[in-house]
Structure 1
């Protein structure tokens, strides 16, 4: 079955961690993926905070806040990978997993959590 999704994502634990994160591959359209992710976060009640340019790591970090806590949207500008990370905020990571799964732009890739130990 051919998918019409523009992007794929994985809900997975961080390496050596029990905390879940969302990994997205933006190789084909990184700038558009950034725009789409920020739009989705804002449309779903997240408030945007500061943006950091971590030039030593070729990374941008966008801070978003909700009643549950803080979410970080990290963009690696070399490999065009994006990560949604919860700072002690797993409820919002699970909420975002559901939001992305319901959005036709995204296709969830199921992973084996033991691969990230």
Structure 2
């Protein structure tokens, strides 16, 4: 079961989705794309950022674009600063998808101090 937070970015008011359990699985990206298939996701490109120890997938959907960031520590983020509506939609899909479980978030943890 993949677990995730629907939360703001650090010091930001923009929402993102952070996966923190089993996201390092070889099947994660295909399971994610299958879960949101109603949005008709299409991977546009995969720039490799080896110096940052992460890989980005730029994805286009019927609701617009978003980015999936994966890193060597097993964390995965879905971000779309200019397309928050798409982030909300992905969250609403994942909330009712069997392989995904949303965890409660303390938004205070992500505010700048």
Q: 1:87–1:47: structure 2 CA closer, same or farther, 3 Å change rule?
A: farther
Of 92, 96, 103, 2:97 maps to 103
Cα distance in 2 between the residues matched to 1:28 and 1:38 = 13
User: Contact 1:69/1:88 (CA < 8 Å) preserved in 2?
Assistant: no
Which consecutive residues of structure 1, in runs of 5 or more, have no partner in the other structure? 1-5
The alignment's TM-score, normalised by the length of structure 1, stands at 0.85
- 1:90 equivalent in alignment to 2:84: yes
User: Contact 1:26/1:82 (CA < 8 Å) preserved in 2?
Assistant: no
- 1:73 equivalent in alignment to 2:68: yes
Cα distance in 1 between the residues matched to 2:35 and 2:104 = 21
Which consecutive residues of structure 2, in runs of 5 or more, have no partner in the other structure? none
Of 20, 33, 48, 1:53 maps to 48
Superposition RMSD on alpha carbons, in Å? 1.7
The alignment's TM-score, normalised by the length of structure 2, stands at 0.88
SS at match of 1:31: coil
Between the two proteins, the alignment pairs up a number of residues equal to 111
